[in-house]
Structure 1
Amino acid sequence: MQEPCTLPLDFGGEQAARDLVSGQEPLYSTSLGCAYCADSLEIMRGIPDESVNLVFTSPPYALHFKKEYGNADKADYVEWFLPFAREIKRIIRNDGSFVLNIGGSWNSGHPTRSIYQYKLLIALVEELGFQLAQDCYWYNPAKMPAPAEWVTVRRIRVKDAVEHVWWFSRTEWPKADNRKVLRPYSKDMIRLAKRGVKNTVRPSGYNIKDSFTAIASGGSIPPNVIDDETPSELLKFGNNASNDSYTKRCKEVGVKIHPARFPAMLPEFFINFLTDEGDLVLDPFAGSNTTGKVSEDLGRRWIAVERIETYLEASKFRFGMA
């Protein structure tokens, strides 16, 4: 079992998270957070300005077919999402961040891609004034080879394996520290450090300095691709998409598993990177509340909002609730 995070007695925890949401009772709460079955626009409108350190979320994608968890049409997606984004920009702190996981989509009946997510990106930056701190990507090799018409039948396209994860902020200087998400050095890097390398200049003009100095930093700086090599403390305790307590319990009691979960390592990376212990994380499209569970495990306060009660009720399993 993972050791629970211990915080100072005056930290506030669940009550502090609850106090930020006026006039609403959570479906359930823990020592650090609250889960609300509600319209996230309504919830966010009740949260004071500059109260949240990180909004991490994955809203329903604009697919060319409808999903049971609800998704806006591509033609209307930007207009649908901007009201949520305005509230997000208002409630995050000046040094806070907004991380958005959004998948791509094919044009219905055609072997070409929609650009709806890029239209959203432009609107968030040019209309709402978000700063694009960095574009990141989630490498997901388990994605299905779809659309079958183009990928597995006619064989004229290859399958998708990445999704966009855009990191936005209110200012150009959001809180961030990549030393908290360093990767272990590769065997080649360790061998090179032991052997030593002379200072040299690559043809590109990049200066390579003594590798002993470089390796003293404690790990390699991670790339902007989140994949199976991304370090994860939580995965050691089974907090992932295939064998976590949520999935096992749903199967045991015959509850439908949320069909669009992301792995714990995705929010874990950004929560570690962009927040400190005790900070507040909000997920306005919580689904099965992976973000809340990861936040709890990492000692962050959290608020989760999901409008479909069945999904949120089942998310209690992540916290060992019946």
Structure 2
Amino acid sequence: MNNLVEGLQASLFATSAEHSSSLLVREIPAYTTPYGAAYLGDSREFLAKLPEGSVNLIFTSPPYALHFKKAYGNVDKADYVEWFLSFAREMFRVLADDGSFVLNIGGSYNPKVPTRSLYHFKLLIRLVEDIGFHLAQECFWYNPAKMPVPAEWVTVRRQRIRDSVEYVWWLSKSPFPKADNRQVLRPYGKDMLRLAQRGVRSTVRPSGHAIRSSFDKIDNGGSIPPNVIEDEIPTDMLTLGNNSANDIYTKRCKESGIKIHPARFPAALPEFFVKLLTNEGDVVLDPFAGSNTTGSVAEQLERRWLAVDLVEEYLLASRFRFGGRG
């Protein structure tokens, strides 16, 4: 194992009688890479073994509280908040004081009626008021590849429109987490370049916002991104589709006859937050790793990473993202 992972591994686990009999959490990783390690087990037990303040960023997308069951497992809405808080308490403990917890979570409909559940908003409130997280910013992922469901209300009765946005809660342990938006600047758009050529005069908009003569300057390295997560193409709101069928992970799963994880997110989603909230050598953790997109992104950006998942088939297949065998 390389020195980066060895150094992290050495401080990870303090074995005790309480954990020594656990069949789920393994101190030996399922696999390692130059920058990280993936573990099979229950992430609540895994998190309990991590030292306090040892993680800089937790980026994850847990199973959502959908009103229908998914192959990867999901918790009923009635139980979801309490279920997730059992993980969140340990997440808060292991985060560095200037660390962040980024949670991608989708909304859902209530069963048998065309109304929306509030479970994800209830969770957000509990994460802040009960656990102690701060809401740094609410962000959004626009995914045009989302299916028009529930079909009964969207495509059959035609009483609702297609849901294509997921929430991304950026939470932090303190009000001032480590973050630098200069690390995620985008190329200036056509309108900004046109303003730079034409120039602007100082004025005050009807909203009260002051426009100064320096507004048109384009010498700051790029445009500050909005809280709608975008890909690398500089448009006002680019979509991050999630229907990739030709990436190396998908191809290798098909070739090997291994089931493809059904709830993958595009690499651009964790990439944005890893760049925004960490530096090279920082530790990134995904406690619901699935196909380990987060670890793959962290590896490419030279961040140390830890991944945990309860389903062995998904975790072992995630090696394909690093050129390994499933």
Shared fold by TM > 0.5? yes
Contact in 2 for aligned 1:132/1:167 (Cα 8 Å) = yes
Deviation at 1:209, TM superposition (A): 1.9
Deviation at 1:214, TM superposition (A): 3.5
1:126 to 125, 129, 149: 129
How far apart, CA to CA, are the structure 2 residues paired with 1:73 and 1:230?
38
Q: Which residue in 2 is equivalent to 1:117?
A: 120
Contact in 1 for aligned 2:200/2:216 (Cα 8 Å) = no
Deviations along 1:232-291, one digit per CA (max 9) or x if unpaired, are xxxxxxx99443211111112221110000000000000000000100000000000000
Q: Which residue in 1 is equivalent to 2:9?
A: 18
Give structure 1 stretches of 5+ with no counterpart: 1-10, 232-238
How far apart, CA to CA, are the structure 2 residues paired with 1:249 and 1:55?
27
How far apart, CA to CA, are the structure 2 residues paired with 1:51 and 1:165?
23
Q: Which residue in 1 is equivalent to 2:238?
A: none
1:164 to 160, 163, 167: 167
Q: Which residue in 1 is equivalent to 2:148?
A: 145
How far apart, CA to CA, are the structure 2 residues paired with 1:226 and 1:305?
25
How far apart, CA to CA, are the structure 1 residues paired with 2:162 and 2:142?
12
Q: CA RMSD in A?
A: 1.6
Deviation at 1:18, TM superposition (A): 2.1
Deviation at 1:172, TM superposition (A): 0.3
Q: Secondary structure at the match of 1:215?
A: coil
Q: Secondary structure at the match of 2:170?
A: strand
Q: Which residue in 2 is equivalent to 1:263?
A: 266
The TM-score with structure 2 as length reference comes to: 0.90
Deviation at 1:227, TM superposition (A): 3.2
Q: Which residue in 1 is equivalent to 2:237?
A: none
Matched, 1:52 2:43: no
Q: What is the number of equivalent residue pairs in this alignment?
A: 305
Matched, 1:196 2:199: yes
Contact in 2 for aligned 1:62/1:72 (Cα 8 Å) = yes
Q: Which residue in 2 is equivalent to 1:173?
A: 176
Contact in 1 for aligned 2:144/2:164 (Cα 8 Å) = yes
How far apart, CA to CA, are the structure 1 residues paired with 2:243 and 2:221?
26
How far apart, CA to CA, are the structure 2 residues paired with 1:230 and 1:98?
26
Give structure 2 stretches of 5+ with no counterpart: 16-26, 235-241
Q: Which residue in 1 is equivalent to 2:224?
A: 221
Letter in 2 for 1:194: Q
Deviation at 1:68, TM superposition (A): 1.3
Contact in 1 for aligned 2:145/2:243 (Cα 8 Å) = no
Letter in 2 for 1:275: T
Q: Which residue in 1 is equivalent to 2:24?
A: none
Tell me whether 248-257 or 54-63 shows the greater mean CA deviation: 248-257
How far apart, CA to CA, are the structure 2 residues paired with 1:295 and 1:64?
33
How far apart, CA to CA, are the structure 2 residues paired with 1:19 and 1:318?
25
Deviation at 1:229, TM superposition (A): 5.5
Q: Which residue in 1 is equivalent to 2:303?
A: 300
How far apart, CA to CA, are the structure 1 residues paired with 2:273 and 2:243?
16
Deviation at 1:20, TM superposition (A): 3.7
Q: Secondary structure at the match of 1:226?
A: coil
Q: Quick one: structure 1 residues 194 and 28, their matched pair in 2 at CA, closer, same or farther if it must change by over 3 Å? A: same
Contact in 2 for aligned 1:17/1:302 (Cα 8 Å) = no
How far apart, CA to CA, are the structure 2 residues paired with 1:35 and 1:309?
11
